[in-house]
C-alpha cells in the first residue's frame, strides 16, 4: 500500500519540481532585461561562453559590460546564477545605483550587504566592519572616523614621505639595472607599509625583498591573497574545499600574529594612560591621544577581552586589506596612463614645477612637504587630482554588492519610469559600467581625459556628498569608485592624499616604460606613434584580472628610466 502511494506521488512531485523550476527560470524575473536562460543552468552556461570568448583571466566586470552591450545597454540586467549562487541584478545606471546606496525608510543605513561578502571572511575576518549591519556598523564607523579625518591625515605626511622614499630607492635600483619588474607589486608593498604605520603604528617592512628581511606577516598575507582569482567571482567557496582549507589555515596564522601585536599595543596603551594620569595630577600637559586605528579600537578598555581582541583583529585585517590594495592598484594604473599620455605627463610635471619649484629631486620635494605649509602644497594640485579621478573612473578597483531580503519590497525605478523589485537578488553596482556611461561622459567615455574633471569641486573629498549640487560637472552618482552614501569608503581621503604625495615625489624623476601587454607600438625608427586622441598607440591591450579586487593581469610589468 505504502509503496503504491509512493509510486503515485513521484510523478506529482516531479511535476511540482519541474513547474517550480520553470517558474523560477522563466517567469519569476521575466520582466528584467536578460539573456535567454537555460532551464537547468540559468545564465551560468551563457556567462561561461562569454568568458571563453573574452581575453584570458579577464575581470568579470568586462564580461558583464559585453553582456550589457549585447542587450542594448539597459539600466539594469538580470543574471540567474542558481544553483551555484544567488540570482544577481547588475546595476548599469548611476540613477539606480544611487537608489541602492542611499538611505530609505526600509533601510536607514543603506541596503544591506550581500551575503556573498562572506566569501572574503578569510581576508577581512567575521567581525569586520564590512560585514556589520545597521546600528553595529554605525558604532564602529563612529569609533574609527577620527583616524581618517582629513585634518589628522595631513599630520601623516611625514610617514607617507618616508615610506615613499623607500619606493624611490627601489625605482633607482631598477633604473640602474634596466631590469623589468612588476610595478603593481611595488606600489602595493608601498601602500601596505603606509597603511600598516597608520592603522597600527607598526613597520611591516613590506618593501624589503624576501631575501633581505621582508616580514613573515607580509609573506603570509601575500600567500593568502594569491589564493583568490577570477574563478572566485563565478563559483562559491564550497566548490573548492581543499583551497578553502588552505585559506583557513593561512588566515589563522595571520590572526595569531595580529593578536600578539594587539596584546602588546594594549599593554603599552595602559602604561601610557597611567603616565598621562600622573602628568595631569602633577599639572603637566600630557600628549594627545593616539589616533591610529589600533589605539582607537582599544580606546577606553582597561581589559582586553576575547571579544574585543577578535573585533580589533578583524578591523585591522579589514583596514590593512582595503587600505593598501585599492591605492596600490590606483598608482600602478596612474603611472601607466602617464607613460602613454605625453600631454598629461607634461601637464603633471608642469604643475609640480609650479608647486614645488624646478628641482625634481625627491628629497627636495619631501623637504617642502614637511615644511609648515606642506598641507597647502598638497591642496594645490588640481590637475593631478583630475588625473587620479580619471584613473579611478576608468579602472575602479572594486564594485559593491547588496541584497534586500525577500519580502521587503525594495523597488527601484529606471529613468524611463519602469519599476523593478530587487528582493532576494544580489544587487551589484558595477562601477566599471556605470563610470563609462556614454550618456554621461559622451564620446570620450572610454578615453583617458583628465581635463574633464578640471573645475569639478567634488574631487578627492569624502565630504563632497554633503553638497551635491555645488561645483558638479557630472551627476554625483556617475563616479563611485569609493561607493557613495553612508557606507562609502572611510579611507578615500587617505587614498587621494597618498597618491598626490607619491606622484609629487616620483613623476618628475622617472619615466615608466611598459613591457609586454600594453607596451607602446613603435614605428620603424623606434619612435612611439601618437594617435588622434593625443595618446601613444599600444599593443596589445592591457586589462584587469580579478584577485579579490581588479588588478592589472600581468602585474603591470615595467622598466623605468631616471631623467637627467
- Can you name the residues that pair with 530 across neighbouring β-strands? 536
Starting at the edge strand found earlier in the chain, the sheet holding 510-514 runs 181-182, 557-562, 510-514
Please tell me the distance from the alpha carbon of residue 495 to that of residue 41, in angstroms, as a whole number: 41
Fill in the DSSP letter of residue 143: H
Residue 84: name the closest of 50, 52, 58, 47 by CA: 47
Q: Which residues are annotated as a binding site?
A: 489
Please tell me the distance from the alpha carbon of residue 200 to that of residue 207, in angstroms, as a whole number: 17
CB 445 within 8 A of CB 453: no
Look-up of cell digits 562572506: 118
- Can you name the residues that pair with 512 across neighbouring β-strands? 560
- Neighbouring CB atoms inside 10 A of 65's CB total 18
- Can you name the residues that pair with 412 across neighbouring β-strands? 420
3-state DSSP assignment of residue 74? coil
Please tell me the distance from the alpha carbon of residue 517 to that of residue 527, in angstroms, as a whole number: 18
Percent helix, strand and coil across the chain, each to the nearest 5: 55, 10, 35
Give the DSSP H/E element, type plus range, for residue 428.
strand 426-429
Q: Which residues are annotated as a binding site for heme?
A: 489
Amino acid at each position: 500500500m505504502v509503496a503504491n502511494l509512493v509510486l503515485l506521488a513521484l510523478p506529482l512531485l516531479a511535476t511540482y519540481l519541474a513547474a517550480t523550476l520553470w517558474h523560477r527560470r522563466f517567469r519569476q524575473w521575466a520582466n528584467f532585461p536578460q539573456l535567454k536562460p537555460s532551464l537547468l543552468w540559468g545564465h551560468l552556461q551563457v556567462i561561461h561562453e562569454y568568458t571563453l570568448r573574452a581575453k584570458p583571466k579577464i575581470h568579470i566586470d568586462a564580461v558583464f559590460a559585453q553582456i550589457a552591450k549585447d542587450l542594448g545597454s539597459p539600466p539594469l540586467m538580470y543574471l540567474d546564477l542558481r544553483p551555484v549562487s544567488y540570482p544577481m541584478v547588475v546595476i548599469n545606471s548611476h540613477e539606480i545605483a544611487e537608489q541602492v546606496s542611499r538611505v530609505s525608510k526600509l533601510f536607514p543605513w543603506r541596503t544591506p550587504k550581500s551575503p556573498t561578502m562572506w566569501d572574503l571572511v578569510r581576508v577581512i575576518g567575521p567581525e569586520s566592519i564590512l560585514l556589520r549591519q545597521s546600528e553595529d556598523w554605525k558604532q564602529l564607523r563612529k569609533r574609527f572616523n577620527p583616524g581618517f579625518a582629513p585634518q589628522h591625515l595631513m599630520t601623516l605626511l611625514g610617514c607617507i614621505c618616508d615610506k615613499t622614499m623607500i619606493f624611490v630607492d627601489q625605482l633607482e635600483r631598477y633604473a640602474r639595472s634596466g631590469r623589468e619588474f612588476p610595478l603593481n607589486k611595488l606600489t602595493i608593498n608601498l601602500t601596505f607599509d603606509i597603511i600598516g604605520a597608520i592603522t597600527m603604528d607598526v613597520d611591516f617592512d613590506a618593501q624589503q625583498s624576501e631575501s633581505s628581511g621582508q616580514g613573515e606577516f607580509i609573506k603570509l598575507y601575500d600567500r593568502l591573497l594569491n589564493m583568490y582569482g577570477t574563478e572566485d567571482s563565478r563559483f562559491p567557496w564550497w566548490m573548492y574545499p581543499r583551497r578553502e582549507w588552505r585559506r583557513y589555515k593561512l588566515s589563522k596564522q595571520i590572526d595569531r600574529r595580529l593578536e600578539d601585536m594587539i596584546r602588546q599595543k594594549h599593554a603599552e596603551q595602559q602604561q601610557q594612560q597611567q603616565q598621562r594620569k600622573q602628568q595631569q595630577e602633577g599639572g603637566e600637559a600630557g600628549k594627545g591621544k593616539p589616533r591610529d586605528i589600533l589605539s582607537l579600537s582599544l580606546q577606553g578598555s582597561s581589559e582586553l577581552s576575547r571579544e574585543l581582541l577578535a573585533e580589533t583583529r578583524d578591523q585591522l585585517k579589514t583596514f590593512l586589506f582595503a587600505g593598501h590594495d585599492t591605492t596600490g592598484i590606483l598608482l600602478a594604473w596612474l603611472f601607466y596612463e602617464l607613460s602613454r599620455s605625453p600631454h598629461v605627463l607634461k601637464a603633471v610635471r608642469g604643475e609640480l614645477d609650479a608647486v614645488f619649484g624646478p628641482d625634481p629631486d625627491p628629497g627636495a620635494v619631501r623637504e617642502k612637504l614637511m615644511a609648515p605649509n606642506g598641507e597647502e602644497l598638497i591642496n594645490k594640485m588640481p590637475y593631478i587630482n583630475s588625473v587620479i579621478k580619471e584613473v579611478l573612473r576608468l579602472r575602479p578597483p572594486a564594485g559593491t554588492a547588496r541584497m534586500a531580503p525577500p519580502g521587503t519590497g525594495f523597488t527601484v525605478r529606471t529613468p524611463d519610469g519602469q519599476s523593478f523589485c530587487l528582493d532576494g537578488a544580489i544587487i551589484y553596482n558595477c562601477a566599471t559600467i556605470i563610470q563609462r556611461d556614454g550618456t554621461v561622459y559622451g564620446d570620450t567615455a572610454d578615453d583617458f581625459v583628465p581635463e574633464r574633471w578640471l573645475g569639478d569641486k567634488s574631487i578627492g573629498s569624502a565630504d563632497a556628498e554633503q553638497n551635491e549640487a555645488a561645483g558638479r560637472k557630472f551627476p554625483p552618482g556617475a563616479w563611485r569608485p569609493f561607493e557613495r552614501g553612508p557606507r562609502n569608503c572611510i579611507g578615500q581621503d587617505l587614498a587621494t592624499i597618498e597618491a598626490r604625495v607619491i606622484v609629487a615625489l616620483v613623476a618628475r624623476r622617472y619615466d615608466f616604460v611598459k613591457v609586454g601587454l600594453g607596451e607602446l607600438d613603435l614605428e620603424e625608427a623606434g619612435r612611439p606613434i601618437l594617435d588622434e586622441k593625443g595618446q601613444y598607440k599600444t599593443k596589445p591591450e592591457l586589462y584587469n584580472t580579478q584577485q579579490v579586487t581588479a588588478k592589472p593581469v600581468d602585474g603591470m610589468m615595467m622598466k623605468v628610466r631616471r631623467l637627467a
